[in-house]
Amino acid sequence: MRFGTIGAGAVAQAIARHLVSAGHEVTLSNSRGPDTLLDVVAGLGPSARAGTVEEAAAADVVFLAVPWPLVGDALAGLSSWDGRILVDTTNSGFAPPAVEDLGVRTSSEYVARLAPGARVVKAFNTLYAQYIAAEPRHAEGRQLLFYAGDDTTAKTAFHEVFDGIGFAAVDAGGLREGGLLMQVGSVLSALHALKLDGDRS
Ligand SMILES: NC(=O)c1ccc[n+]([C@@H]2O[C@H](COP(=O)([O-])OP(=O)(O)OC[C@H]3O[C@@H](n4cnc5c(N)ncnc54)[C@H](OP(=O)(O)O)[C@@H]3O)[C@@H](O)[C@H]2O)c1
């Protein structure tokens, strides 16, 4: 399975580092071009590379990790998703465009609308970047990682990758109901908690 990131900042690098450590290939991209990411990918390891947004978006699993106001720019021109998985890590917060003005209830529904054919999974937005970057396995248990989406197969693939990396991945439901729980200010937002060892729930 190949991975790509649209955006190469704090969140994308934290996710990419875990994936590279687990032996996966990751292509990182930004708006300024691959040449601006050579130091970043060199620091991540040999299976990380810099690419264009189009190259990153051609991966099997693509992480959208740009500031909310730039989501439209970042996805523009990527017309053919063909069922590839798009993991939306963004937080709309109070920055424009406001979701209620876009005719949707959650920001990830808006992202799905901008990426026709993509199987969208919302994840990582509830954790501060330093918690994403940290080793998810602790002496007491594993870092909870909530995700939401409407495609069961995509969610299973996401779950298996990040459970394998050491997160305690938890399905929060569909893109609408899970997204509402995961958005800024809601119950799962910034919930930095561990699933304790021995907890089978
Ligand atoms: N930081 C956190 O603690 C945290 C935690 C969870 C979720 N989030 C969410 O995750 C998203 C990313 O946050 P971040 O902290 O990683 O941001 P960041 O460090 O500012 O990185 C943003 C990245 O997006 C790139 N970018 C901007 N416009 C782009 C475009 N049109 N196409 C491709 N790449 C583009 C930027 O590179 P160039 O400007 O060079 O293109 C940069 O690499 C945000 O929506 C944020 O709300 C953040």
Is the CB of 182 within 6 Å of ligand 1? no
Q: Average pLDDT, whole number, for the chain?
A: 96
Q: Is residue 29 part of a domain?
A: yes
Q: What is the Cα–Cα distance from 101 to 105, expressed in whole angstroms?
A: 9
Q: What is the Cα–Cα distance from 60 to 54, expressed in whole angstroms?
A: 13
Number of domains the chain contains: 1
**Contacts with 135 (C-beta within 8 Å, 6 or more apart), sequence order:** 166
Give the nearest ligand 1 atom to 30 CA: 34
Q: Is residue 201 part of a domain?
A: no
Q: pLDDT tens digit string along 78-101? A: 988 999 999 999 999 888 888 888
pTM: 0.97
Give the nearest ligand 1 atom to 11 CA: 16
Task: Please report how the helices 175-182 and 107-114 are oriented relative to each other, as an axis angle in degrees rounded to 10.
Answer: 130
pLDDT-based confidence at 200, cuts 50/70/90? Answer: low
Q: Is residue 58 part of a domain?
A: yes
Question: What CATH number is attached to the domain comprising 141?
Answer: 3.40.50.720
Predicted confidence at residue 75, as pLDDT, reads 98
Q: What is the average per-residue pLDDT within 146-163?
A: 98
Predicted confidence at residue 28, as pLDDT, reads 99
Residue-range definition of the domain harbouring residue 186: 3-196
